[in-house]
A and B are shown apart, each in its own frame.
Chain A
């Protein structure tokens, strides 16, 4: 069965600190997709990144970076020089490869990590 674990329930940092949000996943599929979404206080989920299981290259986008390691089934998210606007709940999610009889691309979410960045 698929499962996503975000062990950190809440993290609090001071502005300009670096912070890493952990995500560990379980799947028996060899082809799958991993996602990170941001949920600010307004409630809407904002898409941040999608990764397929064949692409283990790390990704950097501005202050955001992602470290995908299949050997440890992890897809961690780092924010460098955090800012107050980064305060939100961050969700990691997993979906199967729909081309191989997967469940139509449905997302399995972790429970989220609430990040508070204090000035």
Chain B
């Protein structure tokens, strides 16, 4: 089945650690996105990539990093510089300039 997978579903991080969230898609989409969702809030864009080996900062990129070495994969690293990383993280993909489809999400908790 075609779709977007995110792993892990739940992730726990100690303060000062970097963690990497995985996002893979087999929809042959060019574009991929990372969003953050806090309780009672809408989604806010962290990073996006329209093509392999290229990505752009979104509205809240500080404390995060990404890479786009393959079309299918867009991992997000939450660094120790992110002061309040506890949130629900959603990955999405789309054909360029088309509807975005979302993965199941990763819930990150800082201990």
Contact = CB atoms under 8 A, between A and B. Distances in A.
Interface of B: 31, 33, 40-45, 48, 50, 56, 58, 88, 90, 92, 94, 96-105, 107
A99 interface: yes
Interface of A: 4, 9, 35, 37, 42-47, 50, 91, 98-99, 104-107, 109-112
Contact of B42 (A98, A106, A109): A109
Given A43-B88, A105-B96, A106-B48, A112 B102 contact: no
**Chain B interface SS verdict (over half):** strand
Nearest to A35: B99
Contacts, number: 57
B104 A43 contact: yes
A44 B92 CA distance: 10
A85 to B, nearest CB: 18
**Chain A interface SS verdict (over half):** loop
A37 B58 CA distance: 20
Nearest to A98: B97
B102 A105 contact: no
10 contacts: A42-B104, A43-B90, A43-B105, A44-B90, A44-B103, A47-B99, A47-B102, A98-B97, A106-B33, A110-B42
Nearest to B103: A44
Q: Which of B31, B41, B42 has the most CB of A within 10 A?
A: B42
Nearest to A9: B40
